[in-house]
Amino acid sequence: MVWNNVTELPWFWAPFHSMTFAILAGLLIPAAFAALLGWFMFRGRITGVYASIITLAVLVVVNLLIIDQQRYTGGFNGITDLAQFEVAGFFFDAYSATTYYLVALCLCAVLLLSLAVTRSKTGMILQAIRDQETGSASSATTSRSIRSSSSRCRPASPVWQACSTRS
């Protein structure tokens, strides 16, 4: 990030030198943020197009915060001069084909996991909530808690998109 006169990263980036912490933080921080947003939206019974508008508005605000805090995040370009990382004895350069294949493999694994969850009982309940919320709310399942818990998983997997998109 020398291009914007920042010679070293701020103090709060130090824990991200650990691969384990970086992966866990990359999954848990967005999930916690979505849980907070979902708690407010679903407790207020916000549905339909209003939930979409609120979600998109929050994403625009977060995007602007990340881009405007150039000193801490690198702005639009992000943090540059990324180092190589090692997974199971393989070295991955951020700009090489091996990293592309690693990301493609992770994408396939997440898609297969999403398919399994979509076909499970939880996925069927989410589809029932999507298709007829009042009918699913009057059944034995607690639709509010399942909707709230599914919003926590939204940033971590595409299951929510798969269940909320009509086939």
pTM, entire model: 0.56
pLDDT score, position 109 = 94
| pLDDT, one tens digit for every residue, the chain (167 residues) | 556 666 777 788 788 878 788 889 988 988 888 888 888 887 888 877 888 898 889 989 988 888 887 777 777 666 666 667 777 787 777 778 888 888 899 899 999 998 998 888 878 877 777 777 666 666 655 555 666 555 555 555 444 444 444 44
For residue 39, how many C-alpha atoms fall within 13 Å in the half-sphere facing its CB?
A: 6
**CA torsion through residues 47, 53, 59, 61, sign:** negative
Rounded Cα gap, residues 76 and 8, in angstroms: 18
Q: Specify the pairing of strand 90-92 against strand 85-87.
A: antiparallel
pLDDT score, position 31 = 87
Query: Tokens standing for 138?
Result: 């009057």
pLDDT score, position 117 = 86
Q: Where are the domains of the chain?
A: 1-81, 92-167
Rounded Cα gap, residues 3 and 80, in angstroms: 9
